[in-house]
Amino acid sequence: MSPRSDGNQPRKMRRAVVVLPNGLTLANLFCGIFAIISASRGQFDFAGLLIVLGGVADALDGRVARATGSGSRFGSELDSLVDIVTFGVAPAMIMYFAVLNREGWEWLIPFLYVVCAAIRLARFNVEQAGRAKRYFHGLPSPAAGLTLATYYWFSQTPLYNQTVLGDLPWHFWLRFLMLALAFLMISNVSYPAVPTIGYKKIGEILGSLVVAATVIGVIVLRKQFYFPALVLYVLYGVAKTVFFGLIGRRPRGDVPVISDDDEDVEPDAQIVVPDIGPDQPPPRRRRRRKPYPRDDRPGPRQFPSRPTEDKNE
């Protein structure tokens, strides 16, 4: 192998690593566009499947970018633009074609939902994009979009048709569900991210149980699992926020951004100074002289010249 080919090999590998997360993001966009087309054709079952696949691609692109160290501002912006289509426009169009009345003014409900999804993603880029997080500030747009997209799946199952759930006026309440999801996306309600898997701490054990129950529900129950589980996720965030609001406390560790060790200290942050005992002298502070600007530095000291005697005088 020639030296030129050896030098090009790392560059090609690096290019492939960078393209991989962006390729997953574009696959997410493909699923969103295809879901809109499928919904316009009345294929709501297939449209819901495409939104779920888009959610899988959206969950993988960020993790692949962090694992390979190929994350960038470009990737974050592209991901948010794609999420507006897949989890904003596509679920709204699925609900418009499947549930809402096309003759009146109910198209404003999908419009408001898409507006709130765009605001939610713009705020996410400012606060949390590109950082590992335990909590989301507001309802994540993928959770809201999947809730709407999987309703049709749930309406075709025996759990819906053969129980009292099928007698409820879903076509009426879904309008308010869309508005509620839109409001929660731009609210200050916090929602937990993917739980940590482990067995050393109680939180890790509970996270492992939640992940295991989710995997079992997806495999065994299939279409009966998604919509009820997502509704419970939405209600959990609201109930937790209301509960802690009533007792006047903030959930422990419930902050928008978690991994912000590299950020500068804010102006209003308090600096903790260790206590100094009575026998210990106070720490000495070294005063730094402010450097002179290059143009203001004093020159060499100049003495006044002695007057010369005139010999002709």
Calculate what percentage of the chain has a pLDDT beyond 90.
28
Name 136's bridge partners. 191
More confident residue, 206 or 149: 149
pLDDT at 14: 56
Superfamily holding 9-193+225-246: CDP-alcohol phosphotransferase transmembrane (TM) domain (1.20.120.1760)
Domain ranges of the chain: 9-193+225-246
The answer to whether 206 and 137 are in contact (CB under 8 A) is no
- CA angle, 88 as apex, 218 and 99 as ends, to 5°? 75
The answer to whether 113 and 84 are in contact (CB under 8 A) is no
Region 192-219 average pLDDT = 74
pLDDT at 13: 52
In tens, the pLDDT along 260-273 reads 333 333 444 444 44
Asked whether the predicted pLDDT for residue 140 surpasses 80, the reply is yes
In tens, the pLDDT along 30-79 reads 999 999 999 999 999 999 999 999 999 988 887 787 777 766 778 788 88
- Residues in contact with 184: Cβ distance below 8 Å, sequence separation at least 6, in sequence order: 138, 139, 144, 234, 237, 238
pLDDT at 269: 42
Q: Which of 170, 307, 298, 293 is nearest to 231 (CA)?
A: 170
**Torsion angle in degrees (nearest 10) through CA of 103, 104, 106, 111:** 80
In tens, the pLDDT along 153-166 reads 888 888 888 788 87
Instruction: Give the helix ranges, DSSP H, for 99-253.
Output: 108-127, 141-149, 151-155, 158-161, 170-185, 202-220, 226-246
